Amino acid sequence: MEDVTCSRNPFIHRAGSPILWFFLGALTMAVIGLVIALRLTGWFTAGRASGADLGPVIHIRDEADAEATRRALMALIFGTPQLPATLPEPAEGGMIVRLPNGFTSFIAVSVPGAPNGALVIYHTGHEGFTQRDRAAIRAYLEAGYTVWRLNLPLIGQQPSGVTVNLPSFGPLTIREHRQMAYLDEVTTGHPLRYFVEPVIAAVNQAEAMGYRPIFATGLSGGGWTTILAAALDPRIHASYPVAGGLPLSLRFDHPRRNWGDWEENLPELFRIASFEDLSILGAAGRSQIQVLNEYDICCYNDARYLHFAPAIRTVAERLGGHFAVYWAEGEFLHRANPAARRVILDDMALRRTP
């Protein structure tokens, strides 16, 4: 009698069948990919209770606190309680800011077909100028904003290495941000000035050229630079840091996802102003919207920050400002997605209204 359970059934194959092995291999790769994605986005640990009493750390309560904190930050970073008067020089395709000890910062200039008189200072992150930045800048140009694009030190169009003769160590070539700590003995102020002074120089130039309002935004490390620049410089009318950081308590509680880079975690900075204080300073009398992505494959996808935001907003509103966190639900990529860009553009339009 013929065995009717044999190969006539197209869904039954012998152990050595290539189709079966292909199916098992594809399934295995899919499972592995899913696990990696969940691990990378912090699925298993984001929002995990640590047992620590985590909450906002806020020292600024009124205008006097805000002014004193801002002046103390300037004194730390620039060596004097005021902003530097640095101006960029003309360069092919844009401008260049010359900084101490051979550091420079190039500013790429993009002008829309029909300028609306406002400026967006856009700061890229540790990966330099990417397609994500290109998409964001295109959206701002299409809306009529002139865009000046900057990069972090040692990245993009900046020199990838700067040799500095240090009194204590001799000539050293600085190639990484964490190595910039050694510049303290030859820098007036703090090595943080190499990150934020180019933005201040851009604002100086924008004011001289009559741009108004002046907006600032940036991605990742550029988002952190935007937070710091807005805290220091009240001439920035509104700021929109994208995936730019979290409060120190959340960084310590989940360092694999939230720690960030050297320049974001300096004790000497946070002794003067917490991350929450910096956010308040950037929003006081103005507007700041911080964009974070729910499943960001890079970092800062910690929903606990949403419980910190109301306390920051309360103080910002007391100081005549507006603060919000835009939580991009379902977003995996490290970027400002189209919905986030629309939130930013809507707020910019509101700030341009007389």
pLDDT score for 353: 73
- Mean pLDDT calculated for residue range 272-280: 98
The H-assigned helical ranges of 152-254 are 193-209, 221-232, 248-253
Q: Residue 311 pLDDT > 80, yes or no?
A: yes
Q: Residue 234 pLDDT > 90, yes or no?
A: yes
153 Cβ contact list (under 8 Å, min separation 6): 103, 105, 177, 180, 194, 195
Sign of CA dihedral 193, 194, 198, 201: positive
Residue holding tokens 């309680």? 81
Q: Residue 246 pLDDT > 70, yes or no?
A: yes
Question: 287-293 and 238-242 as β-strands: parallel, antiparallel, unpaired?
Answer: parallel
pLDDT score for 50: 56
- Mean pLDDT calculated for residue range 244-266: 96
Judged on CB neighbours under 10 Å (0-12, 13-18, 19+), 4 is exposed
pLDDT score for 6: 42
pLDDT score for 337: 98
What is the pTM (predicted TM-score) of this model? 0.87
Report how far residue 323's alpha carbon sits from residue 276's, in angstroms, rounded to the nearest whole number: 11
Q: Residue 161 pLDDT > 70, yes or no?
A: yes
pLDDT score for 36: 53
Residue 38 or 7, more confident = 38
The continuous run of DSSP H or E covering 52 comes out as none
Domain ranges, ordered by start, for the chain: 63-352
Contact 190, 76 (CB under 8 A): yes
| Banded pLDDT at 49 (limits 50, 70, 90) | very low
User: Per mean pLDDT, which range of 60-69, 107-116, 150-159, 264-273 is the poorest?
Assistant: 150-159
pLDDT score for 1: 42
CATH class entry, domain 63-352: alpha beta
pLDDT score for 289: 98
Give one DSSP letter per residue of 167-195, joined into a string: TTTEEEEE-SGGGGGGGGGGSSS-TTHHH
- Mean pLDDT calculated for residue range 101-113: 97
Q: Residue 11 pLDDT > 50, yes or no?
A: no
Report how far residue 170's alpha carbon sits from residue 160's, in angstroms, rounded to the nearest whole number: 19
